[in-house]
Amino acid sequence: MSNAAPRPADPEHLWSVEEHLEDILATVRPLDPIELNLLDAQGCVLVEDVTVAVSLPPFDNSSMDGYAVRVADVAGASEEFPAVLEVVGDIAAGGPGSLRVGPGQAARIMTGAPLPPGAEAVVPVEWTDGGLGGGPVTRMPAHSLAPEAAGGQVQVHRAAAARAHVRAEGSDVRAGDRALDAGTVLGPPQIALLAAIGRGTVRVRPRPRVVVLSTGSELVQPDEALADGQIYDSNSFALTACARDAGAIAYRVGAVPDDAETLRSTIEDQLVRADLMVTTGGVSVGAYDVVKEALAHVGDEDEPGGGVEFRKLAMQPGKPQGFGSVGPDHTPLLALPGNPVSSYVSFELFVRPAIRTLMGLDDVHRPRIQATLVTDTALTSPKGRRQFLRGTVADGSVRPVGGAGSHLVAALAQADALIVVPEDVESVEPGTEVEVVLLG
């Protein structure tokens, strides 16, 4: 994490969504690259330009199961007047390559096996009698069952042009070619190419390790009994799932009670496995807002960038937010509000881009579209706040689900989108085009 960007000094400053996001993205830096085994690098961003060391294919080889022949020997061949060739042996893929095809000869060759010296083309087995002396065959007998078919004679029923059914050395990629550029995200086809050119490891930015902890003395783990005034901890589960969904390796820490010292020591303890720390709850204006209490003053003034700043955002839900860094490595920390919907929306808007920035991805945000609002009555929204309402999108339309309450997690589970109502809009009529953030 680099030094923090200059921030508004007024603690009562109402931050816009963009200002807060810009502060985060100006501060969080992609993780240092490491060398990873190919399959461990799936979904990661390549940081090196990968050059082909050995051409692909590395040698001329057959694209068919058939016979390697000399063109002149099969010129004019037909089923009625076949070319009859002496079979000098089998060339299996990966087998030793000592055979040579002379005039009047053929080698039985398998797909992928190297074209032997002397041969100029391959005729598929279907163009031959397969050595059986009859009409065209559809396949070769297994060598283990009929070893004699690797010798004797073969009748070829069709002519072949030079290089027919031969894959040329380097016809896929040549030694020295650029296989993949730095910045490429490694999906299955890119992994295929890297393996094919012999790369067992690659240099990528690793998946960030994200530690998620919820705070609140009222929180009980699911499956436990609730006492009076208690509720179940859902944020630590939801945000751990969100962090994985964003590409991170996520660690869920159980809920921490509202005690500043316990929270500080828990965070300190977890730092060793955190590239990013996410907390929920304790960031508002109450007397027991422990995250604020524990983290607002940890910044070492001699080390710029340390410390967490708590601020109010011009958004709903998600008004109170904290952002900064903790620990000797200035590990970035996002402190989200505790209401389940607030923390979820805050994660999607701020934490997901931070995670994807750590990964080195270019595309850090959820996609957004315009959609037509379908609703019976106008949506209302507080003036001066950007509101994010839950909705479902289909065929260019979006319908709100549930109310605006930031505790309404049931409706959230039905939603696949967030409807954005800008700060200066207090009412949105049915049929209006609205901006929509697509989730998942």
User: Rule CB under 8 A: which of 193-222 touch its own copies?
Assistant: 193-201, 216-222
Q: What's the CA gap between 213 and 282, in Å, rounded?
A: 12
For residue 408, state whether it binds its own copies (rule: CB under 8 A). Answer: yes
Spatial contact of 321 and 289, defined as CB atoms under 8 Å apart: no
**Contact by Cβ (8 Å): 127, 157:** yes
Smallest distance, Å, CB 46 to its own copies? 11
List the one residue from 31, 85, 156, 239 that touches its own copies (CB under 8 A). Answer: 239
CB of 335 to its own copies, least distance (A): 15
223 binds its own copies (CB under 8 A): yes
249 binds its own copies (CB under 8 A): no
Q: H or E element: which one contains 251?
A: strand 249-256
Number of helices and strands (H, E) in the chain? Answer: 9, 29
Q: Is 76 a binder of its own copies (CB under 8 A)?
A: no
- Which residue lies nearer to its own copies by CB, 249 or 425? 249
Question: What minimum distance in Å lies between the beta carbon of 317 and its own copies?
Answer: 11
Among 56, 101, 354, 434, indicate the residue that binds its own copies (CB under 8 A): 56
Q: Which of residues 358-377 bind its own copies (CB under 8 A)?
A: none
- Minimum CB distance to its own copies, residue 292 (Å): 8
338 forms part of the interface with its own copies (CB under 8 A): yes
Residue number with CB closer to its own copies (1 or 85): 85
Question: Minimum Å distance from CB 195 to its own copies?
Answer: 4
Place of tokens 């930015």: 205
Cα–Cα distance measured from residue 415 to residue 410, given in angstroms and rounded to the nearest whole number: 9
The tokens for 23 are 């502060």
With binding defined as CB under 8 A, does residue 410 bind its own copies? yes
* Burial class of residue 331 (count of CB atoms within 10 Å of its CB; 0-12, 13-18, 19+): buried
**Binder to its own copies among 8, 102, 286, 304 (CB under 8 A)?**
286
Q: Which one among 97, 183, 430, 431 touches its own copies, defined by CB under 8 A?
A: 97
- DSSP output for 63-102: SSSEEEE-HHHHTT--SSS-EEEEEEEEE-TTS-------
- Give the list of residues 6+ apart from residue 351 with CB closer than 8 angstroms, or none: 210, 239, 242, 243, 246, 276, 278, 334, 336
Q: How far is the CB of 389 from its own copies (least distance, A)?
A: 14
Among 16-24, 25-33, 38-46, 368-376, which window interacts with its own copies (CB under 8 A)?
38-46
- The least distance separating its own copies from the CB of residue 428, rounded to whole angstroms, comes to 23
Helix/strand/coil for 150: helix
Question: To the nearest 5 percent, what fractions of the chain are helix, strand and coil?
Answer: 20, 30, 50
Question: What's the rounded Cα separation, in Å, for the pair 156 and 133?
Answer: 10
Nearer to its own copies, 19 or 245 (CB): 245
Length, in residues, of the chain: 440
Whole-angstrom Cα distance, residue 152 to residue 79? 19
Which pair of tokens denotes residue 225?
């009994």
DSSP lists the bridge partners of residue 307 as 325
113 vs 371 by CB, closer to its own copies: 113
Q: How far is the CB of 283 from its own copies (least distance, A)?
A: 10
- Tell which one of 6, 76, 134, 144 touches its own copies (CB under 8 A): 144
The nearest distance, CB 2 to its own copies, in angstroms, is 29
Q: Rule CB under 8 A: is residue 262 a binding residue for its own copies?
A: no
